[in-house]
Amino acid sequence: MKGKTLFDKIWDSHVVHSIPEGPDVLYIDRHYIHEVTSPQAFDGLGRRKVKVFRPRQTTATADHNVPTINQHLEVKDLLSRTQLDKLKENCDNHDIELYDLNHEFNGIVHVIGPELGYTQPGMTIVCGDSHTSTHGAFGAIAFGIGTSEVEMVLATQTILQYKPLRMRINVEGTIQKGVTSKDIILYIIQTLGVDGSTGYFVEYAGSVIRSMSMEGRMTVCNMSIEMGARGGLIAPDGITEKYIKNRQFSKGKIDYIDYKTDDNATFDKEVSIDISTLEPIVTYGTNPAMSIPISKGIPKLENLNENDRESLSKSLRYMGFRSGQRIEGEKVSYIFIGSCTNGRIEDLRDAAKILKGRKVADNVTVWIVPGSNQVALQAKQEGLDKIFSDAGAAMRQPGCSACLAMNDDKVPAGEICIATSNRNFEGRQGVGAKTILSSPLTAAASAVTGIITDPRVFL
Amino acid sequence: MSALAFKNITSTAVPLGIDNVDTDQIIPARYLKAVTRGDFGKNLFADWRYNSDGSINKDFILNNPIYEGQILLTGKNFGCGSSREHAAWALSDYGFKVILSSHFADIFKNNALNNGILPIQISEEIIANLLKLVSSKPETKFIVDLDKQIFSTVDKSITENFQINAFKKECMLKGYDSIDYLINLRDKVERYEGRKVG
């Protein structure tokens, strides 16, 4: 019998009904919601006069649009406050657990789901946020959805979905000093392209992935969407099991043995990537696939085809860089360490490794934003907050913050920000702001020097 | 979810023609604070459409009065990035009903379909030809016939078939509401839940 992929095993076991020549009705085990993409969905329920079908399977948090200082005070911005109030009202009305601002479990949705043990292997998970793919690190099918689909899941605990194609990315080689899971996923995205996985659900495999911590795996799966993938997952193993053990809402031991791709299963596309010679990666352009090893130059326009040349020219005009130039050594004025990509405890530990005993440069503003209150608590227990404040960069309070700059953490027009988040789109961090994506190590190293810096000089 | 039936349209087109347009460009995050459907159309492509002082950026194609219509011609990978349905709402509120690209980002495609916008996928080469045609002859009118799955110029000098899943097509043509459909499957869902526990 033909083997099955891990993705197929999970998908097939969640099909409630298959519409002939149409999509599957897929059962959703866990639904995460937040303040920005849910209000119109609840409005829809109101118009239909239906309640949330399975409120116990929905978890809410306030994260996208929250301040990252003085969270105990009333939120100043009226529109943001209204959105937060609306989330609370909707959760109250529908009996949904909400980890609101100041709650000990509050934080970025893709940080709290795993750390509280809601996210488990074998699950189907959705959220009105494209970085829902993060939860795939546990061997779950997790993907981002629009607000109409949020309404659909709230109303029915199911979603109409076409089964995507399957891709496997095998990552092999030896990880070099200064290289993190962030550099690895940026390299994968650069290799496959910003739309290289559109239409696919990716399984990450290989010895490099196996060796990664859960935090590292979450960073990898998190950015699957940046190459167009519907989601990305990793087969659970002993590392997964250790992570989920003793989590607040974890159901205990899982039978992760079932959750792996059969040896004779086939993928629609398979890619192998060797990272043995990889060095820290930084982006230079306006999509996450536009990245280079930190010691190398930006691609030369003359080496590209007409289409890519036009696209690169447009990006370079926005970023203020020249074709072929190196960006290591370029002056930066903002540093953002945080987000659902790199706002976990290991990321803060990486930043602290570099910042310990050093000061941030005079010309930079540094935002260190923990992914959740639990992450912040852990950081304090480990003394990381002290390291950060001694360096001149006090740790803030959790939230999505400068990743999408819906709150006050905005980078001013024309300024360059090294960010550990996931998108360097035009204006993503503020109108006219220029984003360079990197690992927490590279971001922290650049915070110390005030210029784009190879973290290996500090390691 | 929209229950608007898609009708065939005859319209001129706007040649945007940029690759990898992400949903942050379609509608920047700072305009996502509304808690109701409201009008997102005024902030469609806000950072390209308006200068930093709020004035109109005359160089942007949407502000060029010679181009208008319900059809948007875009480069490849349209709608990548964030899952925000606000992007589809902004396009729809502005008046676009059809978007052509050589391929769309997955989440955006679903969001578009759920809002009565038809994403038509055709080859990069044809998109390039259409962009040239519309740029030089902005008055060119096109017909979008969803039932026959044909995109053509009114004079039929260009006639392209496009693919759409039969189920999606039926939903769009009839304006079916998928959520109502799923609510009616509740027995099946409950039986599934029973099996899962048992």
pLDDT attached to residue B1: 43
For residues A169 and A80, give the distance between their C-alpha atoms in angstroms, rounded to a whole number. 40
Query: What are the structure tokens assigned to A304, written together?
Result: 């590209």
With CA atoms as reference, the chain A residue closest to B47 would be A431
Nearest to A404 among B29, B110, B186 (CB): B29
Q: What is the pLDDT along chain A (459 residues), one digit of tens a residue?
A: 789 999 999 999 999 999 988 999 999 999 999 999 999 999 999 999 999 999 999 999 999 999 999 999 999 999 999 999 999 999 999 999 999 999 999 999 999 999 999 999 999 999 999 999 999 999 999 999 999 999 999 999 999 999 999 999 999 999 999 999 999 999 999 999 999 999 999 999 999 999 999 999 999 999 999 999 999 999 999 999 999 998 999 876 666 667 999 999 999 999 999 999 999 999 999 999 999 999 999 999 999 988 889 999 999 999 999 999 999 999 999 999 999 999 999 999 999 999 999 999 999 999 999 999 999 999 999 999 999 999 999 999 999 999 999 999 999 999 999 999 999 999 999 999 999 999 999 999 999 999 999 999 999
Q: Start-end ranges of CATH 3.20.19.10 in chain B?
A: 11-164
d(CA A187, CA A207): 16
Write out chain B's pLDDT in tens, 198 residues: 445 789 899 999 999 999 999 999 999 999 999 999 989 999 999 999 999 899 999 999 999 999 999 999 999 999 999 999 999 999 999 999 999 999 999 999 999 999 999 999 999 999 999 999 999 999 999 999 999 999 999 999 999 999 999 999 999 999 888 999 999 999 999 999 998 754
pLDDT of the residue at A372: 98
CA-CA distance, A268 to B32, in Å (whole number)? 37
Which among B106, B131, B193 is the top mutation candidate for probing chain A, defined by the most A β-carbons within 10 Å of its own β-carbon?
B106
Strand segments, DSSP code E, in A184-328 are 200-205, 231-233, 269-274, 281-283, 291-293
Contacts of B195 (CB under 8 A, 6+ apart): none
**Binary contact (A157, B167; C-beta < 8 A):** no
pLDDT at B197: 57
Other beta carbons within 10 Å of A100: 17
Helix (H) or strand (E) holding A168: strand A165-172
Report CA torsion sign: A240, A244, A246, A251: negative
Tell me how far apart the alpha carbons of residues B23 and B21 are, in angstroms, rounded to a whole number. 7
Residue type, A124: T
Asked if A44 and B1 come within 8 Å (Cβ–Cβ), the reply is yes
Rounded Cα distance, A127 and A16, in Å: 20
Quickly list DSSP for A5-71.
-HHHHHHHTTEEEE-TTS-EEEE-SEEEEETTTSHHHHHHHHHHT---S-GGGEEEE--TT--SS-T
How far apart, in whole angstroms, are the C-alpha atoms of residue A6 and residue A122?
9
List the one residue out of B127, B118, B81 whose CA is nearest residue B4: B118
Closest chain A C-alpha to B151 CA, distance in angstroms? 23
Among all chains, which residue has been given the structure tokens 């992400």?
Answer: B22
Q: How many residues can be counted in chain A? A: 459
Please judge whether A148 and B114 are an interchain contact, meaning their C-beta atoms are less than 8 angstroms apart: yes
pLDDT digits (tens, 9 = 90+) for B144-164: 999 999 999 999 999 999 999
Q: What is the CA radius of gyration of chain A?
A: 21
CA A382/CA A353 separation, integer angstroms: 12
Residues 6+ apart with CB under 8 A from A289: A189, A190, A192, A193, A194, A196, A226, A227
Whether the CB-CB separation of A427 and A411 falls below 8 Å is answered with: no
Structure tokens at A42: 């609840």
CB–CB contact B34 A21 (8 Å):
no
Q: How far is A157 from chain B (nearest CA, A)?
A: 8
From B115, B182, B186, residue closest to A152, measured CB to CB = B182
Per-residue model confidence (pLDDT) at position A255: 65
Decide: A312 and A286 in contact? Cβ < 8 Å.
no
Q: Summarize chain B as % helix, strand, coil (round to 5).
A: 35, 15, 45
pTM of the complete model: 0.97
Cα of first residue to Cα of last residue in chain A, in angstroms, is: 51
CB-CB under 8 Å, A82 with B35: yes
Q: Do A44 and B193 touch (CB under 8 A)?
A: no
Give A130's DSSP letter.
G
Decide if A12 touches B, using CB distance below 8 A.
no
pLDDT at A254: 65
Fold classification of B11-164 is Aconitase; domain 4 (3.20.19)
AA letter at B75: G
Q: Which of A98, A111, A99, A132 is nearest to A29 (CA)?
A: A132
Inter-chain contact A148–B111, Cβ cutoff 8 Å?
yes
Closest residue on chain A to B128 (Cα): A307
Alpha-carbon gap, residue A116 to A113, rounded angstroms: 6
Tokens of A123: 């699950």
* CA A200 to chain centroid: 18
Give the A window 226-245 contacts with B, CB below 8 Å.
228, 230
What's the number of CA atoms in the CB half-sphere (13 Å) around residue A348? Answer: 33
Q: How far apart are CA A80 and CA A65, in angstroms?
A: 6
